Structure formats: structure tokens, C-alpha cells
């Protein structure tokens, strides 16, 4: 088999895409990023809505990593925003599968997906084969993953149900750091709800592991699950800030975030047995270890 050498990252300008680009380049890959706003070198212009793309690089691509999608956490979920969250993922995934016909060297596809797809009303540790939940995010993930299935018959592909990515360059950790910085660190809601998480380095390693081993199927990309209280407390510890305030009541969080509050209030525990059974080992498998590494940089 021809060695994988050129990667195309859809949505490569985002939080995960930037770090993944760095890691892939360190491994000797040539990386192109599909962006709706391609201004930098290595960025390739596309618009999945109108199905337009600068085609000149497509024949070089060996692997696609699809991270494109409007940001889930940064705006209220109005009905038009919900439509955008879904269509920006589904349309871009289907468009990529159509572009695959112009990629004679394509050997592998990685489709991002999210771990918030299970029925959080059931108190259990979820496995990949469990049913999708009934809420908005679960439906989004279902449609997104169904779109990734358009790669069936084109090349081997993996769907990664990504947990909250811990990174010191943005994302959820930054949002949690903000109140702690001002001495306002506190658990959110009961504080007892579990959040699945993964360190950015492990996520990038996992994507490379999938490419190297041509893993197929759906995998939870989750290092561990910890309570909101433990996460907030851990962050306060490494920021050398106090942590004594009472928990912020769920009602207040729901008032400000609306339906989006489920991102912080849902109690979700997810298994990583399936990915570990492939031989993948998490470098940051405990919250304390992950936070220590992130705050030491």
C-alpha cells in the first residue's frame, strides 16, 4: 500500500485543525486545509453550501480529516442556528464524499463527530453501539455520522465521537478558566454531573493512530469522565485561585444559555474500552495529569 503523505483537513483553521496540522507536519505530511476563507498558504478555498472548491490539489490527497462545522458552543441555539449547526456538518461531509471521486490517491477518511449523542436520561456508561438520544445534539450527531457513511465503498473510514477537548489554546478549558481567573470559580449546577474529556495531544495521536492502523467504525474519543466540580476545582488549583463559592444553580445557567446549557449541565459517562482494545493508549488518562501538563506550558 502507498504510504499516506498528503492530508486534507476540512475546517483545518479551527482549534483542533491547527494543532493537528502541526502534528501531521512533524510526521512528514503535506497538509492542505479547506477553508471558506482561504487567505493563508496551505489553505484551499471551498464553500460546502454552494459546492465550490479549488480543485487543483485534490488529486494529491491521501487522507481527509473532516473537522468542519459551525461552532456548537458560541451562540444561542435559535432554530436558524440549529439548522446551521446541522447543515454545516452534513452538507460539508456529503460534499467531501462527492469530491472523493476526484481523489485517485484517497485511502482513508476521518469524520469528526461528538460524544453528546447518547440518551443522558439513562444513568449508565455509554458504549458506541448504544442508541442515539432524543435531544437536538444527538440528532445532529446521528445526521452527521450518517453523512460520513457516504464514504462507504470509497475508502476505509473512522467516525470519532470527540469529547470536550482540553487545550490551552481555546475551547471549553478557556471558558472554564475565565471565572476562575477572577476568583469566581464554582461548580456549575449540582457539580456532580460528569463530563467526558480528552487532551488535545491525545486526540491528535488518536487521529494519527486511526490513519496508521486504518481503523474502521465509530469510536468514542474520550480519555476519562470527571465531575464538573472536580474539573472546576482542578482548574482553580492549577491557576492558584480560590475555590470556595457555592455552586451556580442550574436555573441561572439555563436562563443565560437556554437549551445550550445542556453542554454544561448534562450528566454523561462514556466508555473508551473500544478504542483501548485496538491498542491505543491515552497519554493523559487522568484529569490531574492532563491539567498539570496544560498549565505547565
Kindly list the residues in this chain that would bind ligand NAP in the complex (CB under 6 A).
Answer: 11, 13-17, 35-37, 48, 67-72, 84, 88, 92, 112, 114, 162, 164-165, 171-172
Look up residue 212 and give its three cell numbers.
496508521
- Minimum CB separation of residue 88 from ligand NAP in Å reads 3
- Minimum CB separation of residue 165 from ligand NAP in Å reads 4
- Minimum CB separation of residue 3 from ligand NAP in Å reads 26
CA–CA separation, 226 and 100 (whole Å): 39
Q: At what angle do helices 79-99 and 136-148 cross, to 10 degrees?
A: 10
CA dihedral for 132, 66, 20, 3, sign (positive or negative): positive
Closest residue to ligand NAP in the complex (CB)? 14
Q: Which residues, other chains included, contact 258 with Cβ-Cβ below 8 Å and sequence gap of 6+?
A: 76, 77
- Minimum CB separation of residue 245 from ligand NAP in Å reads 25
What ranges in the chain are assigned the alpha helix state H? 15-26, 79-99, 136-148, 172-181, 200-213, 228-238, 250-257, 262-265, 273-277, 287-296
Q: What is the DSSP letter of 42?
A: T
Using the CB atoms, write b or e for 43-69: b if 16+ within 10 Å: bbebebeeeebeeebbeebbbbbbbbb
- Minimum CB separation of residue 22 from ligand NAP in Å reads 13
Nearer to ligand NAP (CB atom), residue 72 or residue 245: 72
- Minimum CB separation of residue 89 from ligand NAP in Å reads 6
- Minimum CB separation of residue 73 from ligand NAP in Å reads 8
Query: Is the Cβ–Cβ distance between 22 and 16 less than 8 Å?
Result: no
Nearer to ligand NAP (CB atom), residue 38 or residue 245: 38
Query: Is the Cβ–Cβ distance between 73 and 118 less than 8 Å?
Result: no
Nearer to ligand NAP (CB atom), residue 86 or residue 236: 86
Residue 40 sits at the vertex; the CA angle it makes with 34 and 46, to the nearest 5 degrees, is 25
Query: Is the Cβ–Cβ distance between 253 and 187 less than 8 Å?
Result: no
Nearer to ligand NAP (CB atom), residue 78 or residue 252: 78
Nearer to ligand NAP (CB atom), residue 25 or residue 251: 25
Nearer to ligand NAP (CB atom), residue 92 or residue 272: 92
Nearer to ligand NAP (CB atom), residue 175 or residue 252: 175
Amino acid at each position: 500500500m502507498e504510504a499516506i503523505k498528503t492530508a486534507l483537513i476540512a475546517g483545518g483553521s479551527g482549534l483542533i485543525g491547527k494543532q493537528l496540522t502541526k502534528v501531521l507536519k512533524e510526521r512528514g505530511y503535506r497538509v492542505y486545509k479547506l477553508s471558506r476563507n482561504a487567505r493563508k498558504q496551505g489553505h484551499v478555498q471551498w464553500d460546502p453550501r454552494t459546492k465550490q472548491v479549488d480543485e487543483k490539489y485534490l488529486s494529491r490527497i491521501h487522507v481527509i480529516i473532516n473537522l468542519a462545522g459551525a461552532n456548537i458552543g458560541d451562540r444561542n441555539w435559535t432554530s436558524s442556528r440549529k439548522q446551521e449547526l446541522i447543515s454545516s456538518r452534513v452538507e460539508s461531509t456529503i460534499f467531501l464524499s462527492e469530491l472523493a471521486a476526484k481523489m485517485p490517491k484517497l485511502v482513508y477518511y476521518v469524520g469528526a463527530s461528538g460524544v453528546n449523542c447518547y440518551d443522558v436520561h439513562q444513568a449508565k456508561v455509554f458504549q458506541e453501539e448504544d442508541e442515539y438520544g432524543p435531544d437536538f445534539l444527538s440528532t445532529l450527531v446521528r445526521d452527521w455520522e450518517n453523512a460520513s457513511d457516504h464514504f462507504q465503498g470509497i475508502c476505509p473510514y473512522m467516525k470519532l465521537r470527540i469529547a470536550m477537548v482540553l487545550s490551552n489554546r481555546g475551547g471549553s478549558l478557556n471558558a472554564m478558566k475565565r471565572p476562575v481567573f477572577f476568583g469566581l470559580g464554582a461548580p456549575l449546577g449540582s457539580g456532580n454531573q460528569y463530563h467526558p474529556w480528552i487532551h488535545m495531544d491525545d486526540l491528535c495521536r488518536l487521529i494519527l493512530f486511526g490513519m496508521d492502523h486504518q481503523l474502521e467504525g465509530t469510536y468514542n474519543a474520550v480519555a476519562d469522565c470527571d465531575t464538573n466540580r472536580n474539573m472546576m476545582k482542578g482548574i482553580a488549583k492549577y491557576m492558584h485561585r480560590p475555590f470556595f463559592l457555592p455552586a451556580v444553580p442550574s436555573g441561572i445557567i439555563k436562563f443565560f444559555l437556554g437549551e445550550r446549557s445542556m453542554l454544561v449541565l448534562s450528566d454523561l459517562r462514556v466508555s473508551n474500552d473500544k478504542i483501548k482494545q485496538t491498542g491505543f493508549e491515552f497519554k493523559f488518562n487522568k484529569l490531574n495529569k492532563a491539567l498539570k501538563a496544560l498549565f505547565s506550558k
